[in-house]
Amino acid sequence: MGSLPKESKTAGADIFIAGSGPVGCTFARTILDRAEAAGKRIHIYMADVGSIDGRLIGGHLKNDLRYQIDSDLFSHVIDAALQKVSVAGKENRYSPYYNPNQKEALNVPDCAMTRTIGGMGTHWTCACPRPEPGERTESPLSKGEFDSLLKKAEDLLQVRDDQYDDQIRHIKVKKHLEESYDFKGRIRDLPLAVKRDENHCVTFGGPNTILGKWAEPANCCTDPDCKKNCLFSLRAEHKVIKLKCRRMSNFSYADEAVLLNLRNNELVTVVFNACVIALGAIGTPQLLLNSDGIEADTIPSLGRHLSEQSLWTCQVYLKDKIREEIGDEKPFPNSEPQVNVKYTNDRPWNGMVNRDAYIYGGRHPNPNYDPKFIVDLRFYGKHKIDRNNRVTFDKSDLDIYGLPRATFEVTRKEDDHEMVEDMKRAASVLGEIIDPSEPKQQGTTRIGRGGKDCEQHSVADENSLVHNWTNLYVGGNGVIPDATACNPTLTSVAYAIKSAEFIARTH
C-alpha cells in the first residue's frame, strides 16, 4: 500500500455503491429486483476495502456450527474483526489507531469498524426490534409510510420472533422476567433475523441473505478483470479513495469514483449515473470529505449530529431455581435465551437478555461457571441529538488505510442511572451478577425534511438524496435522524429500501 499506484483503468456502471454491509446490499438487492421486474437491464458496481471471508459472500460467521456449539469461541472472531477508529492517550502511541489530536474527554473510545465483505453484518446480533414512537419523532416520513417500510425491511431481513420458543433456557428466562412486577408488560421474544431448521441449527441472517440470489456466484461477479457485461459486480479489497464531483450554479453531482485495488496497487475509475455511499456512520463522511468538490461547507451537516447509544452490560449466573428448571442438558442444541426488555415512554431504553454481550470488545466469560447457566444483559440508552457532537477528518493526518483520520468531538449529558438500576433489577430476578461498552454511531449523514436551511439540520432528504445534489445518496445508521435505543439495523434498512426504490424509478 506504500508504493505508487499503477495507471488507472476505467469501468462503467449505472449505479455505484460504496460499502457491502447490510445497507449497501439492501440498495443492491432492491434496485436489481426492481429492474428485473420491469424488464430493464441495470449494472451495479459495488466496492469494499474488505476481503471475502468464508465460503459465502457476506455470510454471517456465526453460521459456523462450532460457534453455536460453543458461543464463547466467537469472541475471537469479533476481536479480529473490529478495528478502532480513534485511540487517545500517549500510553497508546504505538497503537495503529492512535490519534495524537484526539482529546480523551471528547472521544468515543469503543467506536470500531469492520472492514470485510458484509461489514458488521458478518457478526451482528441479528436483533431487529422496531423503533417505538419515541424513537422516530424526527423522521421525515409519515407513520404509515414508515411502518410500511419497516415491514418491507422485516421481510427482507427475514425477521422472526418465534425461533427460540421451544428452547428451554429461553422459556425459563422469559417466564421469570414476565412474572416479575417490575417487568410486567415489558418482556417479549426478541425479534431476530434468524431461521432454525429441523435439526435445531440456526441460520443467522447476513448480507448474503439480504442479497438473495444476487449473492450466488452465477449472479455476482467478483473478478476484477472480468470483461463481461455483468449485472452485479462486487469488488473486494478495493479501497474507495474519493468521488469526483462537479458543482454547478444551483446543484452538484458526482460522476466518478476512484478506487485502489489493494492486491495489485492498480487505480480504477468507475464512471456512473448515480452513487450510494454506505460505509457506515464514520466511513461515509470520511469518504465524502476526501472527495474532489466536497468541503465542510459544501454539506454543512456532514459528520455532525453524531448520536451514540450508551451501553451497560452485566453477566448473570442463573439462580438455583432456574437452573433446576432448565436441567442438565448440554447447551447445544439447547440454544441461549433471546429476550427483549421493551422500550417504553417512561423507561426509554432497550434491553436484551441473551449470550452475546460478552463476546464483544475483548471481554470473555468467567470460566468458573457453567456456561449454559450464564446469561448476558445488555441495556441501550438514547443519546440526545446535538449538532455540535461531530466527527471531523484531517487530510494531513491519515489513518492506516490512507484516508483522513477521524477525530471525535462528543459530549454526553444524559444520566443512565435509572437504566442501570433497571438492568440490576432484571439481573436480580434471574440470579447473581458475576461480572459487572460498545456504542453504535448514528446521525452523521442524517436525513430530514426539505425547506429553507434544510442543509443546516440534515445531510439528505427523505429519499437519502444529499441536499442540492442530483445523484449522490447516503445509507447506513448515519441517516437515522432520531435518538434511538433500539438496534438500528432494521431502521437503516427501511430507509435504504425507500431510497433504493426512488433510485430505481429515477435513474
Higher-pLDDT residue of 75, 346: 346
Q: Residue 363: what pLDDT?
A: 56
Other C-beta atoms lying within 10 Å of the C-beta of residue 302 = 28
pLDDT value at 440 more than 60: no
Mean pLDDT of the region 268-279: 98
Domain extents in the chain = 8-161+203-307+387-412+441-506
The secondary element (H helix, E strand) that includes residue 356 is none
Lowest mean pLDDT, pick from 14-28, 50-64, 334-348, 451-465: 451-465
pLDDT value at 97 more than 80: yes
pLDDT value at 313 more than 70: yes
Q: Residue 332: what pLDDT?
A: 57
Compute the mean pLDDT over every residue in the chain, rounded to the nearest whole number.
91
Q: In terms of CATH, what superfamily is 8-161+203-307+387-412+441-506?
A: FAD/NAD(P)-binding domain (3.50.50.60)
Percentage of the chain modeled with pLDDT above 90: 76
Mean pLDDT of the region 420-439: 85
pTM for this entry:
0.95
Judge whether 336 and 352 are in contact, CB under 8 Å: no
Mean pLDDT of the region 263-282: 97
Residue among 283, 224, 288, 243 nearest 21 (CA): 283
Lowest mean pLDDT, pick from 33-37, 64-68, 89-93, 496-500: 64-68
With cut-offs at 50, 70 and 90, classify the pLDDT of residue 316: very high
Q: Residue 437: what pLDDT?
A: 45
Task: Give backbone dihedrals phi and psi of 480, rounded to 5 degrees, phi first.
Answer: -65, 120
Angle formed by the axes of helices 143-157 and 22-37, to 10°? Answer: 100
In the chain, % helix, strand, coil (3-state, to 5) comes to 30, 25, 45
pLDDT value at 181 more than 50: yes
Higher-pLDDT residue of 273, 329: 273
The string of pLDDT tens digits covering residues 356-411 is 755 554 456 667 888 889 999 999 999 888 999 999 999 999 999 999 999 999 99
The string of pLDDT tens digits covering residues 214-229 is 999 999 999 999 988 8
Q: Strand pairing partners for 406?
A: 393
3 state SS for 311-348: EEEEEEEECHHHHHHHCCCCCCCCCCCCEEECCCCCCC
The string of pLDDT tens digits covering residues 123-157 is 999 999 999 999 999 999 999 999 999 999 999 99
Lowest mean pLDDT, pick from 219-223, 245-249, 440-444, 452-456: 440-444
For 435, the grid coordinates are 461480572
pLDDT value at 207 more than 80: yes
Length of the chain: 507
Residues contacting residue 10 through CB under 8 Å, at least 6 positions apart: 268, 269, 270, 271
Mean pLDDT of the region 190-213: 94
pLDDT value at 439 more than 80: no
Judge whether 462 and 141 are in contact, CB under 8 Å: yes
Q: In 70-142, which residue ranges form alpha helices assigned H by DSSP?
A: 74-81
| Pairing between β-strand 307-308 and β-strand 404-409 as defined by DSSP bridges | unpaired
Q: Residue 330: what pLDDT?
A: 64
Mean pLDDT of the region 410-439: 85
Q: Residue 357: what pLDDT?
A: 55
Q: Residue 412: what pLDDT?
A: 80
Q: How far apart are CA 281 and CA 276, in angstroms?
A: 14
